[in-house]
Amino acid sequence: MNKIAFLFPGQGTQYEGMLDDLPQTTLTSSLLERAQNRLGHDPLLLDDKEHINTSVGTQLSLFIKGVVLEAHLEEGKIYPHVVAGHSIGSFAAAVAAKVLSFEDGLHIVKKRAELMDNVGGEDYGMGVIVGVNKEKLVHIVASVHSETTPVYIANENAEDQYTVSGKRIGIEVVLEKARKQGASKAKFLNMTVPSHCPLMNDVGKTLFGELEKCTISDPAVPFIGNKRARPLQTGSAVKEDLAFNVSHPVLWHNCSTIMKELGVKLFVEMAPGHVLVDLIKRKYPEGHFFPLSSFSLDDVLFLVKKYKSK
């Protein structure tokens, strides 16, 4: 039997109205009602024009959408052998793995977004670089980083795709040097928060304290951690990863490798977007990929059942 991974995307995939196309089912209504009770307001307001580009609106919308879609897959008798999320996607993955309750996840995700906003500002941000290997990028970043212009490698998405975080003035120099080193893409992301770097250390510590107040269970299936890119099998390990992935690079390239080594053949990515399956497909083209942004829920249920028994 082919193993299945459920994948949960991170920021950058969100769009206005992204919660409007959730399945019109009793299950969706129940989960949205639970979200309203926990948040104290209608969750469908999170993705409107006013809120979707705020940290709270984006992160909660992605979390809710991931949890709702995953719940429908389970209702259709499709269960993961492995779960993995990219950055904020890790929290929906933790709910899928039965580590964290939906209600506790809502609280932690909202807190995370609020704390991150307190660190950011117009002087900070992130950039993306494609077409330069890690060795070159490490050298470039080291040549720019200083106490007054902190800049760090953030996410390692593929062998030649990285993000950098820090002060915009430092990032600008890194991007320019990367272009001179042959980068095919080197530009700022539309973010004012320096995610996944030591500037977020205090956020991680506060989140860990908040997670200590939650009921944390051992994962029902292996949870691929962002920080160490390893399959985590205890609640304490997942808790640590959830808290501190905000202040450490997301090692997605290594996460992809681990899933392949675990024997995963079917990859189902929760909407929105298909960034994660696209990254995995580059190094693992023989896999089968089902992003819910491209396939209907019914089609994914049919196709996964068809392929998993082969």
Q: What is the pLDDT along the chain (310 residues), one digit of tens a residue?
A: 899 999 999 998 999 999 999 999 999 999 999 999 999 999 999 999 999 989 999 999 999 999 999 999 999 999 999 999 999 999 999 999 999 999 999 999 999 999 999 998 899 999 999 999 999 999 999 999 999 999 999 999 999 999 999 999 999 999 999 999 999 999 999 889 999 999 999 999 999 999 999 999 999 999 999 999 999 999 999 999 999 999 999 999 999 999 999 999 999 999 999 999 999 999 999 999 999 999 999 999 999 999 988 7
Mark whether 210 and 289 lie in a shared domain. yes
User: 88 and 212: one domain?
Assistant: yes
Asked whether residue 223 falls in the same domain as residue 146, the answer is: no
Domain boundary among 192, 207, 229: 192
Query: At residue 154, what are phi and psi to the nearest 5 degrees?
Result: -105, -90
Residue 210 and residue 166 share a domain: no
Q: Please indicate, yes or no, whether residues 159 and 72 belong to a single structural domain of this protein.
A: no
Listed residue (155, 150, 109, 98) closest to 128, CA to CA: 155
Q: Which amino acid appears at position 206 of this protein? A: T
- Give dist(CA 141, CA 166) in Å, integer: 11
| Strand duo 82-85 + 223-224: pairing | parallel
**What CATH number has the domain bearing residue 261?**
3.40.366.10
Final residue before a domain boundary, out of 139, 163, 192? 192
Please give the tally of structural domains in the chain. 2
| Spatial CB neighbours of 59, under 8 Å, sequence gap ≥ 6 | 11, 88, 109, 110, 112, 113
From 145, 196, 248, 288, the catalytic residue: 196
Residue 102 sits in the same domain as residue 138: no
> Per the structure block, which two tokens stand in for 181?
């080193």
Catalytic pick among 55, 72, 81, 87: 87
Burial class (CB in 10 A: 0-12, 13-18, 19+), 296: exposed
130 with 172, same domain: the answer is: yes
Residues 113 and 15 in one domain: yes
- Cβ neighbours of 250 (radius 10 Å): 26
The pLDDT score that the predictor gives to residue 1 is: 82
Among 136, 170, 192, the domain boundary falls at: 192
Q: Indicate the DSSP class of residue 13.
A: S
Our answer to whether residue 139 is catalytic in this structure is no
**114 and 148, same structural domain?**
no
Please, what is the Cα angle at 243 between 104 and 44, to 5 degrees? 40
Q: What is the CATH number of the domain that holds 156?
A: 3.30.70.250
Tokens 């890790």 map to which residue?
90
Q: Can you give the residue range of the structural domain that contains 56? A: 3-119+199-308
Please tell me whether residues 152 and 243 are part of one structural domain.
Answer: no
Q: Are residues 261 and 179 in the same domain?
A: no
3-state secondary structure of 133: coil
Indicate the average pLDDT of the chain. Answer: 97
207 and 111 co-located in one domain = yes
User: Which residue, among 29, 124, 14, 101, has the nearest Cα to 60 in the 3D structure?
Assistant: 14
User: Is 87 an active-site residue?
Assistant: yes
Q: How far apart are CA 144 and CA 146, in angstroms?
A: 7
